[in-house]
Each structure stands twice: as structure tokens, then as C-alpha cells.
Amino acid sequence: MTTKRIDVKGIVQGVGFRPFVYRIAKKNDMQGYVKNMGNYVEIVVSGELKNIDAFLSDLKLEKPPLSKIDSISIKNIDENLNEIYSDFTITLSENSEIEEEGTIPPDISICDECLKEIMDKTDRRSNYAFTACTNCGPRFTVIEKLPYDRENTSMKDFPLCENCIEEYKSPENRRFHAQATCCEFCGPELFITNNSGKIVSNDIVDAVKFLENGKILAIKGIGGTHLVCSINSDETVLELRKRLNRPTQAFAIMSREEYLDLFSKIDENELNAIKSPKKPIVALKKNELYGKYFSKHVSNLNTIGVMLPYSGLHHLLFENTDQIAYIMTSANMPGLPMSIDNEQILEKLGNIADYFLLHNRKIVNRCDDSVLKEINGKMELLRRSRGFAPEPVEVNYGTIKNSNKNILALGPELNSVACLVKNNKFYLTQYIGNTGKYETFNYLKEAVENLIKITNTNKIDTIVCDLHPSFNSTIFAKELGEKYGIPVTQIQHHESHCYSLMGDSDIFENNVTIAIDGLGYGNDGNIWGGEIFLFKDGKIERTGHLEEQIQPGADLASKYPLRMLASVLHKANLNVSEIIKGYNYFSEKELKLILFQLEKNINVSKTTSTGRILDSISALVSLCFERTYDGEPSIRLEALANAYNGKISEIETLVEDSLKIENNIIDTTSLIVKSLEMLNNNEKIEKIAYFIHIALADGLSKIAIETAKKQGIEYIGITGGVSYNKIISERIVEKIEKESLKPLIHERIPNGDGGISFGQAIGYLLNSN
Ligand SMILES: [Zn+2]
Ligand SMILES: [Zn+2]
């Protein structure tokens, strides 16, 4: 007889870990106990050595899907000191305060066993949309406060029925202590209303019928609300676009795994990501047959964002129909938070949806769908939200790991996410959005407050924010700092991107990093966005960038890319008036005003943004004259460049001839003049689009590689929103690898502004040590 004590650390609470341990202990004939110890679980097992080995192997290999084991420590217990255990038990911890200090898991898609019950006509949970167990279902989006007990979640409104209580109390059952469990007798109920709130049905089959008849539905799900309609009718899709005032931005869709091959070219990485229990949206390449199934108005890109059903409700929407997919887009007006309570949904979306599939469970924390895209063979996070938040990220680098400061980093303004650091765990909030808007700014405050609550944080040592003086997040940081006497540190936007990449990859050696995006407030007060940084001996410094261009009308130049083009052509001393007139876009008066601004240098700002250069070309080739969503002109330009099917070498020659770099500054004027020349020579617009991608990638990598070589540095990083551009990113990585240098790319944290708050926290920690 051997006795061992096993301590398991990680996400081991609220995920069915103890009943799992109980089951594998029984299976392997163990005596002893399992006990929750706050931030770890203590297990004592006593039995035959070979059974203990089998137990340990089960522990590692069969752990519950929601759990995450960070470490297991095993100690032998001296037989003489050993109590005699006659059975295996789950011992409740005496101190429930300590007990629940562990990490709250994210929401996770319905598990196979629950799904089987829903689809089984004889099961008592047949057709029940809210079926969940310890291995699946909502967590983060239903929790109000700690500890994670049913009483502290929005399930408190649904007292368990006798059958459910029995399951809840039985250690052998997979619903043992499952806080979100319920059934049709005791749990939340679905109903369908029209847009004046009148209930028209309680049957989800009617929702399916409405969808088949071309209606637009608002569907309240687990952590949020979607607008849903069919994918194949031009009329329906255009109607949704009109009502949402969303003329071109591609819609995400939901489909079933067995249909993915019909319309997409999905590879193994993408398949693994899309099927994972987090069930994110994955940007998939369309295949040749795509157009057979989808209205051309669903997505005007070469990709389509696809997710699989992740709740019982979603699966039921695909029963009783031959639809292969639905449009499923977050139910919010552009830039505003998603509507989540029934009254608000009816009020805000009354003019958008025809019918409302609602339920009577409250959504406590809204959580938008996460979005992934494969770049450089890795799944990168465009949005880290449902399925990820609030799971923390850890960093192992010495001085950062050893810091015991609690830090609140408030992020940028657009695509905002905040980050709380506690015990070297970096907790990122769910996706928040554009905090320049009042409602979204309030949402940021709520999300931060909530994160502080569910991590049991009772003091903040320091606050970090952006350098931009008038961002709401900066003002909020300063207010908080003043109110509570907490020091506030400001960190430049692109430096934060660099720090974010170092923290993400956990590599803090000297590096050169390319930080490219739409905009960030620079150290010189200008707008940056095409930057190269040298991080050496703990100091970060900008060592190269794109040429400064003028934005006539400041922000208007990012909304109307033709303004940017006019600016660059003006700088090149070309006949701007003539060329821009040719596009027939601006009125004579407006064009005059633009020229006046350029000549007199009035109401202009300076920018080194990569986004603005891509935008100019998007306008040059008449692809996009107005940005209707974040990044539109350049996102569509990437899709166009993808259609180039000529020789790469031809483009490389063009780039070699026209790329000029002086003092580590890339001459973007010549690149745009070259593009205009190509257009005048009747070159295909796909070729021009591809040319500018390669020219920028080659220019940036050239400076980065030269700097790295000169400094004896082996790492070159790439970060920022433009690094989601597959053509640019993959070209840069190819160049880096060709020189036998090592590329740093994002894997756990968004490349874009969703990673800024994490970078702010990392930057603060690096600089304060
Ligand atoms: Zn389940
Ligand atoms: Zn029940």
C-alpha cells in the first residue's frame, strides 16, 4: 500500500474537477480524498502502486475539458504518519472564501454528452436549449460575484427541481455541483416575440420557419445577442445591411462542421481552431463553390468568418431545416456595445429585427464572439473575447514574473480591451470596442469593475494608460489615480504593441520590432503607424518609419481615402486637381477645400501610418472611397491583392526599382506615384494592390533586418493591426527567415489594439524594474 499527496494547480474550480478526481479514484480503487485549497486542489490517494500510476495517468489525460492543469506536484506520504482511509471522498474546504479564489473559467461550448441528450427524443432534456453540465456552458457571462456558486450567478432565479438536485448532489454525476445546470422544468424558458414585444410562440421550430421565410431575427444567446438571417437571399441580406446601416462590412456566419467543405478551403489548423471548445469565429478562405450557396452581399472579401454552433439553442436552429448556414452578427449598432437585456433588445433592435427569440435568463457579462485568422501558420487573435475571457495569460520572464504589483492597464481608444495584472496573471477583459463613444466607455468601466470583483482584487498599485491626452481611457486613468491616490504611467501606443509582443512570446531579449497599424499617438505629437523599434538593453527606441504624410482634414482623411491620395500626389507636385476630379467623387467645392488645406497647411495632421498608405491605393484603384468600418479600405485592398495571379518576380523587380529608403525612412510618395503610373499604363488593379503590399513589406523588413544585423540582434518582431494583413506579415516573416533571423509573432494576445492594455502592463513592469 502506497500513499501519495498530489497538488494540482491551474483552472481546477467550477469545472467539475473534484467529481472527476472522485470518479477516477473510484475507477482505480483508490482510498483518500480530494479537497479544494483555494488556488489549488489537494488530493491524497492510497492504494496499489500500479493503480496510483493509472490514476495519475487518468488525471493528466482525461481531465475535464474546461480545466487547465498548470502544475502537478507529487509527494510520498510516510506510511507511519498515514491515516487509514476506508473510502474516497470529496472533502469540502472549511473556508469557502479561500476556496473560490481560483480562476473563473470562460464560457465553453456545449459538450457532446449534453448535445446527445438534447437530440435524444427519450431524454428528459430532449430539445432543451439551456442544457449544460460541469464540462460545458456559461461561466463568465452568468457570474455576478465570487464565490462561483449558483446563488451568485444569474441561475439564482431558477431553483433546481428535484431531478436536477439529485444530479447536482451526486458525485458520480457529471452535473455534480454544476452551477449552470437546469432542465425544462426548472431552467430558463425560450419565447419568440414580434417587434412590439408580443409573444407569438414558444417553439424554436417557429424561429427556424421565420428564418426560412427571409425574416431577420434577434436571437439572445448565452453571452450576447445576434442578428440572424438566411445567407442565400440577396433581398434578405441587403435588407439587413440597410436596417443596420452597414453597407459593406462582411458578416460572420454560423454553419455546421459537415458543411464547411462545401464553401471554404479549410486547413487542419483552422479546423482545430473552429472545432475547439472555445468555438471562435475563424476567417476561412472561400472556395470556388462558395457563390453557389451564399448571396454575394454576405462578404465582399476573399474570406468568410465562420463559427460552429456553440450552444444547445444554436444546434436546435439547425434541426428541422436544410439551411447550411445563417448570418450571425453581433446585435449592436456600429461602435456600440451589444444589447443584452430583453427590454433593451426590443427597444434598440425594434427597427432591425422582425422577430425576437428571447429567454428569461439575465446575461450578466456580455461577451462578443472571438475571431481568429491563420497567418504564418499560426492562429492569430483578431478578437479575444468569448471562450478566452477572463482566462489569464502568464509571463515567465524573471522581473515580470516576480513582481507582486496589481496593475490596471486601460488600453487605447479603438478596439479597446483592459487588462488587470495580479500575481503575475494578466487578466484581459472581453472585447469592449470604441471607447470614444459614451456607451462603450461605460462598458469599459463596467468590465473593469467586474474583473476586479471576480479576481478578488482589493487594491491597485498602479494604473497605465495611453499617451494620447484626450482619450477617454486616459482621462479615466487620471481621474482614478487622483481619486484613489494611485500613480498613473502613460506609455506610447506602438511601444505598447512592442511590449505586448514580447510578453506574448515571453521573449525579452534584444529585438527589432515592426509596429504597423492605422494610428497611434506618437512621442512627437504626430500620428504614428509605420514604425520600427529597437529594444536594446531594456530601452526602447524608434529607429525607422514610413515617410510623414499630411492628412488633409485630419480624421476626415482616414474616412475618405481619396483625401490621402490627394495629399501624397500634392507632395509629389503632380496635378492633383485634375487627377482627383477624374474620380468624380468630391464636389468642386470640397476638392478646392482639400487643396486649400494642403497648400496652406490648415486643419492637417502628420502621419506615418501604414494604414493610410494602403488606403490611398484603395482609392487610387477605385476600390473604396469611404471607410464604413475600421480598416475597410486596406482590408478590401488585401482581398484584391489576393486575386493577383501573375509572377511574384515581376512585382519584386518593380519594388526594387521604386523602393527608396533614406535614414531608415521609407519614401511612400514614390511608391504611390509608381502605383499611379501603373494605373495609367493600364496595369491590372490586382497587380497594383499586390505591388504596394510587397513594397511596404520589403521596405519595413529591409530596415529591420539591417538594424538587427548592425546590432547583432537575432529577433525581429511584427505587431500592430496591419500585421493581420496576411500578405504583408508572411512576406516580412519570409524575409526574416531568409536571413536566418528569428521572427516574433503573436499567438496568445491580439496583434491589434486588443493587445495594447497587455502591452501597457508589460511595459510598465519592464521599466519599473
Ligand atoms: Zn455538458
Ligand atoms: Zn430541473
Over residues 532-554, the pLDDT tens digits come to 999 999 999 999 999 999 999 99
Distance 109 CA to ligand 2 centre (A): 20
| Gyration radius of the chain's alpha carbons | 28
Ligand sitting nearest the alpha carbon of 164: 2
What pLDDT is recorded for position 96? Answer: 46
Distance 110 CA to ligand 2 centre (A): 17
* Residue range 608-622: mean pLDDT, rounded: 98
Q: What is the pLDDT, as a whole number, of residue 172?
A: 84
End-to-end CA distance of the chain: 50
Residue of 28, 36, 135, 751 marked catalytic: 36
CATH number 3.30.70.100 is the correct assignment for the domain at 2-99: yes
Q: Does the pLDDT at position 101 exceed 80?
A: no
Centre of ligand 2 to C-alpha 328, Å, is: 30
How far, in Å, is the centroid of ligand 1 from the Cα of 38?
25
Q: 173 CA distance to ligand 2 centroid (A)?
A: 14
Q: Is residue 326 predicted with pLDDT exceeding 70?
A: yes
- The DSSP secondary-structure symbol of 38 reads S
> Which entry of 18, 125, 361, 386 is annotated as an active-site residue?
18
Closest ligand, as measured to the CA of 311: 1
Q: How confident is the model at residue 98 (pLDDT cuts 50, 70, 90)?
A: very low
Ligand 2 center to 481 CA (angstroms):
47
Identify which has the larger pLDDT, 330 or 102. Answer: 330
Nearest to 384 by CA among 395, 371, 374, 403: 371
Report the alpha-carbon distance of residue 226 to residue 372 in Å, rounded: 18
Indicate the pLDDT class of residue 10, thresholds 50, 70 and 90. confident
Known catalytic residue: 36?
Answer: yes
Confidence class for position 19, pLDDT limits 50, 70, 90: confident
Considering every ligand atom shown, identify the ligand nearest to the alpha carbon of residue 125 and give its number. 2
Q: What is the mean pLDDT of residues 9-30?
A: 87
Tell me the CATH architecture of domain 387-499+753-767. 2-Layer Sandwich (3.30)
The ligand whose atoms approach the alpha carbon of 132 most closely is 1
Per the CB < 8 A criterion, the answer to whether 264 and 288 are in contact is no
Fold of domain 190-359: DHBP synthase (3.90.870)
**What letter would DSSP give residue 659?**
-
d(C-alpha 310, C-alpha 109), whole Å: 4
Query: Mutual orientation of helices 588-600 and 561-571 as an angle, nearest 10°?
Result: 50
Ligand of minimum distance to the alpha carbon of 135:
1
pLDDT(658) > 60: yes
CB atoms within 10 A of CB 97: 11
Average the pLDDT over 237-252 and give the result. Answer: 96
The distance of Cα 204 from the centroid of its chain, to the nearest Å, equals 30
Distance CA 501, CA 507 (A): 8
- Give the pLDDT band (50/70/90) at residue 93: low
Residue 79 has what pLDDT?
Answer: 66
Place of cell 482634414: 553
Q: Give the DSSP per-residue string, 550-613.
A: EEETTTHHHHSHHHHHHHHHHHTT--HHHHHHTTT-S-HHHHHHHHHHHHHT-SEEEE--HHHH
Residues of the chain with pLDDT > 70, as a percent, come to: 98
3-state secondary structure 284-346: EEECCCHHHHCCCCCCCCCEEEEECCCCHHHHHHCCCCCCCEEEEEECCCCCCCCCCCHHHHH
Compute the distance between CA of residue 537 and CA of residue 123 in angstroms, rounded to an integer. 64
What is the number of the ligand closest to the CA of 185?
2
Query: How far does residue 124's CA lie from ligand 1's centre (Å)?
Result: 14
User: What pLDDT is attached to residue 149?
Assistant: 82
Determine the pLDDT at residue 1.
82
CA of 311 to the centre of ligand 1 (A): 10
Spatial separation of the C-alpha atoms in residues 208 and 449, rounded to whole Å = 38
Residue 268 reports pLDDT greater than 90: yes
CA distances from 428 to 257, 281, 338, 380, 385 (A): 30, 19, 19, 16, 9
User: Rounded CA gap, 556 and 185, in Å?
Assistant: 56
Question: pLDDT at position 80, please?
Answer: 61
Q: What does the pLDDT average to over 230-255?
A: 97
In this prediction, residue 256 has a pLDDT band, given cuts at 50, 70 and 90, of: very high
- Res. 608 pLDDT band, cuts 50 70 90: very high
pLDDT at 38 over 80: no
Question: According to the model, what pLDDT value does residue 203 have?
Answer: 96
What confidence tens digit (pLDDT) does each residue in 389-418 have?
A: 999 999 999 889 999 999 999 999 999 999
Stretch 441-454: mean pLDDT, rounded? Answer: 94
CA distances from 82 to 88, 92, 190, 618 (A): 15, 20, 54, 74
pLDDT at 264 (0 to 100): 98
Q: Which of 168-177, 265-274, 347-356 has the lowest mean pLDDT?
A: 168-177
Predicted pLDDT at 81: 58
Ligand 2 centre from 165 Cα, in Å?
7
Average pLDDT over residues 286-308: 98
> Which is it for strands 488-491 and 462-466: parallel, antiparallel or unpaired?
parallel
Domain ranges of the chain: 2-99, 190-359, 387-499+753-767, 549-607
567: exposed, middle or buried (C-beta count within 10 Å: 0-12, 13-18, 19+)? buried
Residue 145 has pLDDT above 90, yes or no: no
Could you give the count of Cα atoms lying within 13 Å of 319 in the half-sphere of its Cβ? 18
pLDDT band at 16 (very low <50, low <70, confident <90, very high): confident
pLDDT, average across residues 629-650: 97
- Which amino acid is residue 551, in one-letter code? Q
Mean pLDDT of 51-59: 95
pLDDT band at 769 (very low <50, low <70, confident <90, very high): low
Centre a 10 Å sphere on the Cβ of residue 154 and count the other Cβ atoms it contains.
20
Q: Residue 681: how many CB atoms within 10 A of its CB? A: 7
Q: Tell how far the Cα of 178 is from the centroid of ligand 1, in angstroms.
A: 9
Q: Which three cell numbers stand for residue 41?
A: 486542489
Active site residue 18: yes
Average per-residue pLDDT in the chain?
Answer: 94
